[in-house]
Structure 1
Amino acid sequence: MFGKAALLEAIAGKNRGILATETDRQAIQAAIVRLEERNPTPEPLQATELLDGNWRLLYTTSQELLRIDLLPLFKLGQIYQYVRTATAQIYNIAEISGVPYLEGFVSVAARFEPFPDESLSQRRVKVNFERSILGLQRLVNYQSPEAFIEQIDSGKKFTAIDFPITQREQKGWLEITYLDEDLRIGRGNEGNVFVLTKVK
Protein backbone atom coordinates (compact mmCIF):
# COMPACT_ATOMS: atom_id res chain seq x y z
CA MET A 1 0.00 0.00 0.00
CA PHE A 2 1.34 3.42 -0.96
CA GLY A 3 0.46 7.08 -0.85
CA LYS A 4 -2.29 8.59 1.26
CA ALA A 5 -3.84 5.27 2.23
CA ALA A 6 -0.55 4.07 3.70
CA LEU A 7 -0.08 7.25 5.71
CA LEU A 8 -3.65 7.30 6.99
CA GLU A 9 -3.34 3.66 8.06
CA ALA A 10 -0.03 4.38 9.82
CA ILE A 11 -1.48 7.23 11.89
CA ALA A 12 -4.83 5.54 12.62
CA GLY A 13 -5.39 5.00 16.33
CA LYS A 14 -2.37 7.09 17.37
CA ASN A 15 -4.45 9.98 18.78
CA ARG A 16 -2.59 12.73 16.87
CA GLY A 17 0.71 11.15 17.94
CA ILE A 18 0.04 10.88 21.67
CA LEU A 19 -0.06 7.07 21.51
CA ALA A 20 2.69 6.65 18.91
CA THR A 21 5.71 4.57 19.90
CA GLU A 22 9.18 5.25 18.50
CA THR A 23 8.61 2.42 15.99
CA ASP A 24 5.28 3.99 15.01
CA ARG A 25 6.92 7.39 14.54
CA GLN A 26 9.57 5.94 12.26
CA ALA A 27 6.97 4.18 10.12
CA ILE A 28 4.82 7.31 9.95
CA GLN A 29 7.83 9.46 9.02
CA ALA A 30 8.69 7.07 6.19
CA ALA A 31 5.10 7.20 4.90
CA ILE A 32 5.14 11.00 5.08
CA VAL A 33 8.38 11.24 3.10
CA ARG A 34 7.04 8.91 0.41
CA LEU A 35 3.91 11.03 0.06
CA GLU A 36 5.87 14.31 0.02
CA GLU A 37 7.85 12.98 -2.93
CA ARG A 38 4.56 12.74 -4.84
CA ASN A 39 3.26 16.19 -3.91
CA PRO A 40 0.72 17.22 -6.60
CA THR A 41 0.92 20.92 -5.64
CA PRO A 42 4.55 22.13 -5.76
CA GLU A 43 3.48 25.79 -5.31
CA PRO A 44 0.83 25.52 -2.58
CA LEU A 45 0.71 29.25 -1.81
CA GLN A 46 -0.67 29.78 -5.29
CA ALA A 47 -3.34 27.10 -4.82
CA THR A 48 -5.55 29.23 -2.58
CA GLU A 49 -8.68 27.19 -3.37
CA LEU A 50 -6.96 24.15 -1.83
CA LEU A 51 -5.20 25.92 1.02
CA ASP A 52 -8.08 28.06 2.27
CA GLY A 53 -10.45 26.76 4.90
CA ASN A 54 -10.58 24.79 8.13
CA TRP A 55 -8.14 21.91 8.69
CA ARG A 56 -8.19 19.32 11.48
CA LEU A 57 -4.96 17.86 12.83
CA LEU A 58 -4.51 14.12 12.31
CA TYR A 59 -0.92 13.70 13.48
CA THR A 60 2.00 15.75 14.76
CA THR A 61 5.39 15.33 16.38
CA SER A 62 4.99 18.66 18.22
CA GLN A 63 5.40 17.94 21.93
CA GLU A 64 4.20 21.47 22.68
CA LEU A 65 0.76 20.43 21.40
CA LEU A 66 0.76 16.84 22.61
CA ARG A 67 1.77 17.83 26.17
CA ILE A 68 -1.63 19.47 26.61
CA ASP A 69 -2.98 15.94 27.05
CA LEU A 70 -0.80 15.50 30.15
CA LEU A 71 -2.60 18.21 32.15
CA PRO A 72 -4.33 16.75 35.22
CA LEU A 73 -8.04 16.02 34.63
CA PHE A 74 -7.91 17.24 31.03
CA LYS A 75 -7.64 15.57 27.63
CA LEU A 76 -6.62 17.08 24.33
CA GLY A 77 -9.63 17.30 22.03
CA GLN A 78 -9.65 18.25 18.37
CA ILE A 79 -7.05 20.67 17.02
CA TYR A 80 -7.98 22.92 14.11
CA GLN A 81 -6.07 25.31 11.88
CA TYR A 82 -8.06 27.78 9.84
CA VAL A 83 -6.22 29.33 6.89
CA ARG A 84 -7.40 32.51 5.20
CA THR A 85 -5.07 33.42 2.34
CA ALA A 86 -6.93 36.61 1.32
CA THR A 87 -5.87 38.27 4.57
CA ALA A 88 -2.79 36.09 5.24
CA GLN A 89 -4.19 34.86 8.56
CA ILE A 90 -3.90 31.58 10.43
CA TYR A 91 -5.96 30.60 13.46
CA ASN A 92 -4.98 27.62 15.61
CA ILE A 93 -7.58 26.24 18.02
CA ALA A 94 -7.07 23.32 20.40
CA GLU A 95 -10.16 22.05 22.20
CA ILE A 96 -9.66 20.61 25.69
CA SER A 97 -12.11 18.20 27.31
CA GLY A 98 -12.23 16.56 30.70
CA VAL A 99 -14.15 17.63 33.77
CA PRO A 100 -17.80 18.48 32.90
CA TYR A 101 -18.38 22.24 32.57
CA LEU A 102 -14.63 22.84 32.52
CA GLU A 103 -14.08 22.14 28.82
CA GLY A 104 -11.50 24.58 27.59
CA PHE A 105 -9.65 25.82 24.55
CA VAL A 106 -6.34 27.34 23.54
CA SER A 107 -6.26 29.58 20.48
CA VAL A 108 -3.46 31.45 18.71
CA ALA A 109 -3.98 33.92 15.87
CA ALA A 110 -1.12 34.69 13.48
CA ARG A 111 -0.34 36.32 10.17
CA PHE A 112 1.89 34.86 7.50
CA GLU A 113 3.98 36.11 4.61
CA PRO A 114 6.01 34.36 1.91
CA PHE A 115 9.47 33.28 3.02
CA PRO A 116 12.14 35.76 1.82
CA ASP A 117 14.19 33.06 0.09
CA GLU A 118 12.80 33.13 -3.46
CA SER A 119 13.43 29.43 -4.01
CA LEU A 120 11.15 28.64 -1.03
CA SER A 121 8.63 31.48 -1.29
CA GLN A 122 5.91 29.41 -2.99
CA ARG A 123 5.77 26.75 -0.28
CA ARG A 124 7.22 28.25 2.91
CA VAL A 125 5.78 31.12 4.96
CA LYS A 126 7.03 33.19 7.85
CA VAL A 127 4.54 33.06 10.72
CA ASN A 128 4.11 36.01 13.08
CA PHE A 129 2.00 35.19 16.13
CA GLU A 130 -0.25 38.06 17.20
CA ARG A 131 -2.83 36.99 19.79
CA SER A 132 -3.37 34.16 22.25
CA ILE A 133 -6.68 33.29 23.92
CA LEU A 134 -7.29 30.52 26.44
CA GLY A 135 -10.14 29.78 28.77
CA LEU A 136 -13.36 27.86 29.32
CA GLN A 137 -15.57 27.13 26.32
CA ARG A 138 -18.79 27.94 28.17
CA LEU A 139 -17.56 31.39 29.21
CA VAL A 140 -16.97 32.47 25.61
CA ASN A 141 -20.00 30.59 24.22
CA TYR A 142 -17.71 28.43 22.10
CA GLN A 143 -19.76 26.57 19.46
CA SER A 144 -17.37 25.77 16.60
CA PRO A 145 -14.00 26.90 15.23
CA GLU A 146 -15.69 28.93 12.50
CA ALA A 147 -18.02 30.76 14.87
CA PHE A 148 -15.18 31.47 17.29
CA ILE A 149 -13.00 32.89 14.51
CA GLU A 150 -15.84 35.21 13.49
CA GLN A 151 -15.86 36.52 17.06
CA ILE A 152 -12.10 37.05 16.98
CA ASP A 153 -12.36 38.93 13.68
CA SER A 154 -15.03 41.20 15.12
CA GLY A 155 -12.48 42.40 17.68
CA LYS A 156 -14.34 40.90 20.62
CA LYS A 157 -12.54 40.68 23.94
CA PHE A 158 -13.29 37.43 25.72
CA THR A 159 -13.91 36.36 29.32
CA ALA A 160 -10.67 34.44 29.15
CA ILE A 161 -6.94 34.97 29.20
CA ASP A 162 -6.70 37.12 26.08
CA PHE A 163 -3.47 38.90 25.27
CA PRO A 164 -1.44 40.14 22.32
CA ILE A 165 1.82 38.44 21.42
CA THR A 166 4.50 41.02 20.84
CA GLN A 167 7.76 39.29 21.69
CA ARG A 168 10.08 39.06 18.74
CA GLU A 169 10.87 35.44 19.40
CA GLN A 170 7.24 34.47 18.85
CA LYS A 171 7.85 33.86 15.17
CA GLY A 172 8.58 30.87 13.03
CA TRP A 173 8.09 29.39 9.60
CA LEU A 174 5.97 26.65 8.13
CA GLU A 175 6.66 24.80 4.89
CA ILE A 176 3.83 23.05 3.07
CA THR A 177 5.34 19.87 1.70
CA TYR A 178 2.16 18.20 0.44
CA LEU A 179 -1.24 19.60 -0.52
CA ASP A 180 -4.25 18.15 -2.28
CA GLU A 181 -8.02 18.61 -1.99
CA ASP A 182 -8.27 17.07 1.49
CA LEU A 183 -4.80 16.44 2.93
CA ARG A 184 -1.98 18.79 3.89
CA ILE A 185 1.46 18.07 5.33
CA GLY A 186 3.61 20.81 6.81
CA ARG A 187 7.00 21.05 8.49
CA GLY A 188 7.90 23.75 10.99
CA ASN A 189 11.08 25.58 11.93
CA GLU A 190 11.49 23.43 15.08
CA GLY A 191 11.57 20.22 13.03
CA ASN A 192 7.99 19.17 13.74
CA VAL A 193 5.68 17.66 11.15
CA PHE A 194 1.91 18.23 10.91
CA VAL A 195 -0.62 16.14 8.98
CA LEU A 196 -4.06 17.69 8.56
CA THR A 197 -7.31 16.86 6.82
CA LYS A 198 -9.71 19.44 5.43
CA VAL A 199 -12.99 19.85 7.29
CA LYS A 200 -15.86 19.76 4.79
Structure 2
Amino acid sequence: MELGLNLGLYLYPPSSPLCTTISKKHRLNNYNYNVSKKLSISMAMLSAPQAYDSELENKKHELLTSLQDTQRGLLTTPHQRSFIEEALVNVEGSNKGEPIDLDKLDGTWRLQYTSASDVLILFQAAATLPFFQVGQIFQKFECRGNTDGGVIRNVVQWSIPNLLEEQEGATLLVSAKFTLVSVRNIYLQFQEITVQDINISEQVQALLAPAILPRSFINLQILQYLRSFKAQFPVRDPGRESVGGLYYLSYLDDNMLLGRAVGGGGVFVFTRAQSLY
Protein backbone atom coordinates (compact mmCIF):
# COMPACT_ATOMS: atom_id res chain seq x y z
CA MET A 1 0.00 0.00 0.00
CA GLU A 2 2.80 2.40 0.95
CA LEU A 3 4.66 1.53 -2.27
CA GLY A 4 1.63 2.36 -4.38
CA LEU A 5 1.08 5.64 -2.57
CA ASN A 6 4.74 6.67 -2.87
CA LEU A 7 4.72 5.76 -6.55
CA GLY A 8 1.63 7.92 -7.05
CA LEU A 9 3.35 10.84 -5.35
CA TYR A 10 6.42 10.35 -7.54
CA LEU A 11 4.43 10.25 -10.75
CA TYR A 12 2.12 13.07 -9.70
CA PRO A 13 3.64 15.87 -7.61
CA PRO A 14 1.69 17.05 -4.56
CA SER A 15 0.76 20.23 -6.34
CA SER A 16 -0.92 18.41 -9.21
CA PRO A 17 -4.76 18.28 -9.31
CA LEU A 18 -4.78 14.50 -9.52
CA CYS A 19 -2.62 14.13 -6.42
CA THR A 20 -4.87 16.54 -4.55
CA THR A 21 -7.91 14.42 -5.53
CA ILE A 22 -6.19 11.20 -4.42
CA SER A 23 -5.23 12.78 -1.07
CA LYS A 24 -8.80 13.98 -0.43
CA LYS A 25 -10.23 10.56 -1.25
CA HIS A 26 -7.69 8.92 1.05
CA ARG A 27 -8.60 11.23 3.95
CA LEU A 28 -12.32 10.74 3.27
CA ASN A 29 -11.94 6.98 3.28
CA ASN A 30 -10.05 7.10 6.58
CA TYR A 31 -12.71 9.39 8.06
CA ASN A 32 -15.55 7.12 6.94
CA TYR A 33 -13.73 4.10 8.35
CA ASN A 34 -13.19 5.77 11.74
CA VAL A 35 -16.80 6.95 11.92
CA SER A 36 -18.04 3.48 11.00
CA LYS A 37 -15.79 1.89 13.63
CA LYS A 38 -16.95 4.29 16.35
CA LEU A 39 -20.58 3.73 15.37
CA SER A 40 -20.13 -0.05 15.55
CA ILE A 41 -18.58 0.23 19.01
CA SER A 42 -21.40 2.51 20.19
CA MET A 43 -24.06 0.14 18.83
CA ALA A 44 -22.37 -2.80 20.55
CA MET A 45 -22.34 -0.92 23.85
CA LEU A 46 -26.02 -0.08 23.46
CA SER A 47 -27.03 -3.59 22.48
CA ALA A 48 -25.17 -5.28 25.35
CA PRO A 49 -27.67 -4.31 28.11
CA GLN A 50 -30.58 -5.27 25.85
CA ALA A 51 -29.11 -8.73 25.29
CA TYR A 52 -28.55 -9.10 29.05
CA ASP A 53 -32.12 -8.05 29.82
CA SER A 54 -33.43 -10.48 27.25
CA GLU A 55 -31.44 -13.28 28.85
CA LEU A 56 -32.74 -12.34 32.29
CA GLU A 57 -36.35 -12.24 31.12
CA ASN A 58 -35.89 -15.71 29.64
CA LYS A 59 -34.62 -16.96 33.00
CA LYS A 60 -37.59 -15.43 34.80
CA HIS A 61 -39.96 -16.96 32.26
CA GLU A 62 -38.38 -20.37 32.78
CA LEU A 63 -38.82 -20.01 36.53
CA LEU A 64 -42.49 -19.05 36.31
CA THR A 65 -43.10 -21.84 33.78
CA SER A 66 -41.56 -24.38 36.15
CA LEU A 67 -44.09 -23.34 38.84
CA GLN A 68 -47.14 -24.21 36.75
CA ASP A 69 -49.40 -27.00 38.03
CA THR A 70 -47.69 -27.04 41.45
CA GLN A 71 -50.59 -25.26 43.22
CA ARG A 72 -48.15 -22.73 44.66
CA GLY A 73 -45.85 -25.51 45.90
CA LEU A 74 -48.36 -27.97 47.33
CA LEU A 75 -48.00 -30.53 44.54
CA THR A 76 -44.36 -31.00 43.53
CA THR A 77 -42.25 -34.04 42.78
CA PRO A 78 -38.56 -34.27 43.74
CA HIS A 79 -37.68 -33.72 40.07
CA GLN A 80 -39.86 -30.57 39.91
CA ARG A 81 -38.34 -29.20 43.11
CA SER A 82 -34.86 -29.74 41.72
CA PHE A 83 -35.76 -28.01 38.45
CA ILE A 84 -37.40 -25.10 40.32
CA GLU A 85 -34.36 -24.67 42.55
CA GLU A 86 -32.08 -24.56 39.50
CA ALA A 87 -34.33 -21.94 37.85
CA LEU A 88 -34.35 -19.93 41.09
CA VAL A 89 -30.56 -19.90 41.32
CA ASN A 90 -30.30 -18.79 37.69
CA VAL A 91 -32.46 -15.73 38.37
CA GLU A 92 -30.88 -14.98 41.76
CA GLY A 93 -27.43 -14.79 40.18
CA SER A 94 -28.49 -11.81 38.06
CA ASN A 95 -28.26 -9.23 40.86
CA LYS A 96 -26.48 -11.21 43.53
CA GLY A 97 -24.79 -9.00 46.10
CA GLU A 98 -26.53 -5.79 45.05
CA PRO A 99 -28.10 -3.78 47.93
CA ILE A 100 -31.86 -3.95 48.28
CA ASP A 101 -33.66 -0.89 46.91
CA LEU A 102 -36.37 -0.20 49.51
CA ASP A 103 -38.26 2.09 47.16
CA LYS A 104 -38.48 -0.73 44.63
CA LEU A 105 -39.38 -3.25 47.36
CA ASP A 106 -42.27 -1.08 48.55
CA GLY A 107 -45.68 -2.32 47.43
CA THR A 108 -47.75 -5.50 47.18
CA TRP A 109 -46.40 -8.86 46.01
CA ARG A 110 -48.49 -11.96 45.18
CA LEU A 111 -47.21 -15.40 46.20
CA GLN A 112 -46.67 -17.73 43.23
CA TYR A 113 -44.72 -20.52 44.93
CA THR A 114 -43.23 -21.54 48.25
CA SER A 115 -41.60 -24.52 49.92
CA ALA A 116 -42.14 -23.12 53.44
CA SER A 117 -43.91 -25.70 55.61
CA ASP A 118 -45.88 -23.12 57.61
CA VAL A 119 -47.54 -21.92 54.38
CA LEU A 120 -47.90 -25.32 52.72
CA ILE A 121 -49.86 -26.56 55.72
CA LEU A 122 -52.54 -23.97 54.87
CA PHE A 123 -52.72 -25.28 51.30
CA GLN A 124 -52.88 -28.84 52.60
CA ALA A 125 -55.73 -27.97 54.95
CA ALA A 126 -57.66 -26.29 52.14
CA ALA A 127 -57.13 -29.36 49.94
CA THR A 128 -58.40 -31.83 52.56
CA LEU A 129 -60.98 -29.90 54.60
CA PRO A 130 -64.26 -29.19 52.78
CA PHE A 131 -65.06 -26.26 55.09
CA PHE A 132 -61.86 -24.27 54.49
CA GLN A 133 -60.53 -22.38 51.46
CA VAL A 134 -57.32 -20.42 50.97
CA GLY A 135 -57.36 -17.64 48.41
CA GLN A 136 -54.52 -15.33 47.41
CA ILE A 137 -51.50 -14.72 49.64
CA PHE A 138 -49.59 -11.45 49.51
CA GLN A 139 -46.65 -9.72 51.11
CA LYS A 140 -47.08 -5.98 51.44
CA PHE A 141 -43.97 -3.90 52.13
CA GLU A 142 -44.24 -0.35 53.45
CA CYS A 143 -40.77 1.14 53.20
CA ARG A 144 -40.76 3.86 50.53
CA GLY A 145 -38.38 6.66 51.44
CA ASN A 146 -36.79 4.64 54.26
CA THR A 147 -33.13 3.71 54.48
CA ASP A 148 -33.00 1.02 57.19
CA GLY A 149 -36.31 -0.87 57.22
CA GLY A 150 -40.07 -0.58 57.39
CA VAL A 151 -43.21 -2.68 57.87
CA ILE A 152 -44.18 -5.94 56.20
CA ARG A 153 -47.68 -7.43 56.23
CA ASN A 154 -48.35 -11.04 55.26
CA VAL A 155 -51.89 -11.14 53.90
CA VAL A 156 -53.83 -14.41 53.61
CA GLN A 157 -57.30 -14.37 52.09
CA TRP A 158 -59.42 -17.31 53.23
CA SER A 159 -63.01 -18.46 53.37
CA ILE A 160 -65.51 -20.95 54.75
CA PRO A 161 -67.81 -22.10 51.91
CA ASN A 162 -71.49 -21.16 52.24
CA LEU A 163 -70.71 -19.04 55.30
CA LEU A 164 -68.31 -16.50 53.80
CA GLU A 165 -67.76 -15.29 50.27
CA GLU A 166 -65.67 -17.50 48.01
CA GLN A 167 -61.86 -17.06 48.30
CA GLU A 168 -62.09 -13.59 49.90
CA GLY A 169 -64.43 -14.30 52.81
CA ALA A 170 -61.96 -12.99 55.38
CA THR A 171 -58.39 -11.75 55.69
CA LEU A 172 -55.66 -12.93 58.02
CA LEU A 173 -53.00 -10.25 58.46
CA VAL A 174 -49.63 -10.95 60.11
CA SER A 175 -47.74 -7.70 60.67
CA ALA A 176 -44.04 -7.29 61.39
CA LYS A 177 -41.41 -4.61 61.52
CA PHE A 178 -38.25 -5.26 59.56
CA THR A 179 -34.76 -3.82 59.61
CA LEU A 180 -31.89 -4.16 57.17
CA VAL A 181 -29.05 -6.14 58.76
CA SER A 182 -26.95 -6.48 55.59
CA VAL A 183 -27.23 -5.53 51.93
CA ARG A 184 -29.79 -8.30 51.27
CA ASN A 185 -30.85 -9.65 54.68
CA ILE A 186 -33.74 -8.25 56.69
CA TYR A 187 -34.71 -9.14 60.24
CA LEU A 188 -38.44 -9.55 60.90
CA GLN A 189 -39.92 -8.77 64.30
CA PHE A 190 -43.54 -9.93 64.27
CA GLN A 191 -46.01 -7.66 66.01
CA GLU A 192 -49.57 -8.97 65.75
CA ILE A 193 -52.08 -11.17 63.94
CA THR A 194 -55.30 -9.59 62.74
CA VAL A 195 -58.51 -11.14 61.41
CA GLN A 196 -60.49 -8.58 59.42
CA ASP A 197 -62.54 -7.89 56.28
CA ILE A 198 -65.27 -10.42 57.07
CA ASN A 199 -67.51 -10.83 54.01
CA ILE A 200 -70.43 -13.15 54.76
CA SER A 201 -72.10 -15.02 51.93
CA GLU A 202 -75.37 -13.96 50.35
CA GLN A 203 -77.06 -17.00 51.90
CA VAL A 204 -76.08 -15.94 55.41
CA GLN A 205 -77.08 -12.34 54.73
CA ALA A 206 -80.49 -13.55 53.57
CA LEU A 207 -80.77 -15.65 56.71
CA LEU A 208 -79.96 -12.75 59.00
CA ALA A 209 -82.00 -10.18 57.13
CA PRO A 210 -84.39 -11.71 54.55
CA ALA A 211 -84.97 -9.53 51.54
CA ILE A 212 -88.73 -10.17 51.64
CA LEU A 213 -89.08 -8.81 55.17
CA PRO A 214 -88.30 -5.35 56.55
CA ARG A 215 -84.84 -5.32 58.04
CA SER A 216 -84.98 -4.48 61.70
CA PHE A 217 -82.46 -2.36 63.53
CA ILE A 218 -80.99 -5.49 65.16
CA ASN A 219 -80.60 -7.27 61.81
CA LEU A 220 -78.76 -4.30 60.35
CA GLN A 221 -76.56 -4.00 63.44
CA ILE A 222 -75.54 -7.64 63.16
CA LEU A 223 -74.63 -7.24 59.48
CA GLN A 224 -72.69 -4.07 60.18
CA TYR A 225 -70.84 -5.69 63.08
CA LEU A 226 -69.78 -8.67 60.96
CA ARG A 227 -68.56 -6.43 58.13
CA SER A 228 -66.51 -4.25 60.46
CA PHE A 229 -65.29 -7.09 62.70
CA LYS A 230 -61.59 -6.96 63.48
CA ALA A 231 -59.72 -9.11 65.98
CA GLN A 232 -56.09 -8.45 66.86
CA PHE A 233 -53.69 -10.71 68.75
CA PRO A 234 -50.11 -9.82 69.73
CA VAL A 235 -47.39 -12.24 68.65
CA ARG A 236 -45.17 -13.18 71.59
CA ASP A 237 -42.95 -16.08 72.58
CA PRO A 238 -43.03 -17.59 76.11
CA GLY A 239 -40.47 -15.01 77.24
CA ARG A 240 -42.87 -12.22 76.19
CA GLU A 241 -40.51 -11.09 73.48
CA SER A 242 -41.65 -10.49 69.91
CA VAL A 243 -41.04 -13.46 67.64
CA GLY A 244 -38.51 -12.73 64.91
CA GLY A 245 -36.72 -14.28 61.96
CA LEU A 246 -34.10 -13.62 59.31
CA TYR A 247 -35.23 -13.29 55.70
CA TYR A 248 -32.87 -13.19 52.71
CA LEU A 249 -34.15 -11.21 49.70
CA SER A 250 -32.26 -13.07 47.00
CA TYR A 251 -33.65 -11.20 43.96
CA LEU A 252 -35.63 -8.02 43.34
CA ASP A 253 -36.68 -6.08 40.27
CA ASP A 254 -39.79 -4.16 39.18
CA ASN A 255 -42.01 -7.24 38.84
CA MET A 256 -40.39 -10.17 40.68
CA LEU A 257 -39.28 -10.79 44.26
CA LEU A 258 -37.48 -13.93 45.46
CA GLY A 259 -36.83 -14.65 49.11
CA ARG A 260 -35.41 -17.35 51.36
CA ALA A 261 -36.19 -17.81 55.03
CA VAL A 262 -32.76 -18.22 56.64
CA GLY A 263 -32.33 -21.50 58.46
CA GLY A 264 -34.07 -23.77 55.96
CA GLY A 265 -37.47 -22.13 56.29
CA GLY A 266 -38.22 -22.37 52.58
CA VAL A 267 -38.13 -20.27 49.41
CA PHE A 268 -40.70 -17.78 48.13
CA VAL A 269 -41.51 -16.54 44.64
CA PHE A 270 -43.59 -13.37 44.35
CA THR A 271 -44.74 -11.23 41.44
CA ARG A 272 -45.87 -7.59 41.63
CA ALA A 273 -49.59 -7.08 42.33
CA GLN A 274 -51.95 -4.16 42.61
CA SER A 275 -52.12 -2.42 45.97
CA LEU A 276 -54.51 -3.99 48.46
CA TYR A 277 -55.21 -0.93 50.59
Query: How does the TM-score come out when normalised to structure 1?
Result: 0.79
Structure 1 spans left out of the alignment, 5+ residues: 116-120, 140-157
Structure 2 CA distance, aligned partners of 1:104 and 1:22? 34
User: Is contact 2:74–2:124 with CA below 8 Å preserved after alignment?
Assistant: no
After superposition, where does 1:148-167 map in structure 2 within 5 Å?
159-167=229-237
Match for 2:161 among 99, 104, 110?
Answer: 99
Q: Check conservation: 2:97, 2:183, Cα contact below 8 A.
A: no
Query: Which of 236, 246, 250 is equivalent to 1:177?
Result: 250
What secondary structure is seen at the aligned counterpart in 2 of 1:31?
helix
Task: Return 5+ residue gaps in structure 2 as ranges.
Answer: 1-54, 201-227
Question: Counterparts of 1:58-77 in structure 2 under 5 Å?
Answer: 58-71=112-125, 72=129, 73-77=131-135
Do the aligned residues in 1 keep the contact of 2:189 with 2:242 (CA within 8 Å)?
no
| Pairwise CA distance, 1:68 | 1.1
CA RMSD in angstroms comes to 2.2
Paired with 1:63 and 1:109, the residues of 2 have a C-alpha distance of: 19
Give the aligned partner of residue 186 of structure 2: 125
Instruction: Give the structure with the larger helix fraction.
Output: 2
Cα deviation, residue 17, structure 1: 0.5
Matched, 1:51 2:125: no
Identity %: 29
Indicate if the aligned counterparts of 1:40 and 1:180 stay in contact, CA closer than 8 A.
Answer: no
Contact 1:41 1:178 in 2 (8 A): no
Q: Bigger relative contact order, structure 1 or 2, given CA contacts below 8 A and separation 6+? A: 1
Aligned residue identity for 1:22? P
TM-score by length of 2: 0.58
Letter in 1 for 2:113: Y
1:195 paired with 2:269, answer: yes
Q: Is 2:178 aligned against 1:112?
A: yes
1:101-129 CA distance string (max 9 Å, x none): 333332100000122xxxxx111011000
Taking a change above 3 Å as real, the CA distance of residues 131 and 24 of structure 1, as seen in their structure-2 partners, is same
Aligned mate of 2:72, from 16, 35, 45: 16
Q: After superposition, what is the alpha-carbon deviation per residue over 1:115-162, rounded to whole angstroms, capped at 9, x for unaligned?
A: 2xxxxx1110110000102367227xxxxxxxxxxxxxxxxxx73542
- Deviation, structure 1 residue 29: 0.7
Report the Cα distance in structure 2 between the residues aligned to 1:40 and 1:6, rounded to whole angstroms: 18
Looking at structure 2, the residues matched to 162 and 99 of structure 1 have their Cα atoms a distance apart, in angstroms, of: 23
Q: Are the equivalent residues in 2 in contact too, given 1:41–1:179 (CA < 8 A)?
A: no
1:165: how far off? 1.4
Larger Rg: 2
Shift of 1:100: 2.6
Displacement over 4 Å in runs of 4+: none
Alignment length (residue pairs): 175
Compared CA separation, residues 183 and 22, structure 1 to 2 (3 A): same
Structure that is richer in strand per residue: 1
User: What amino acid maps onto 2:244 in structure 1?
Assistant: K
Secondary structure in 2 matching 1:138: coil
CA contact (8 A) 1:41 1:180 kept: no
**1:166, CA displacement in angstroms?**
2.8
Contact in 1 for aligned 2:190/2:242 (Cα 8 Å): no
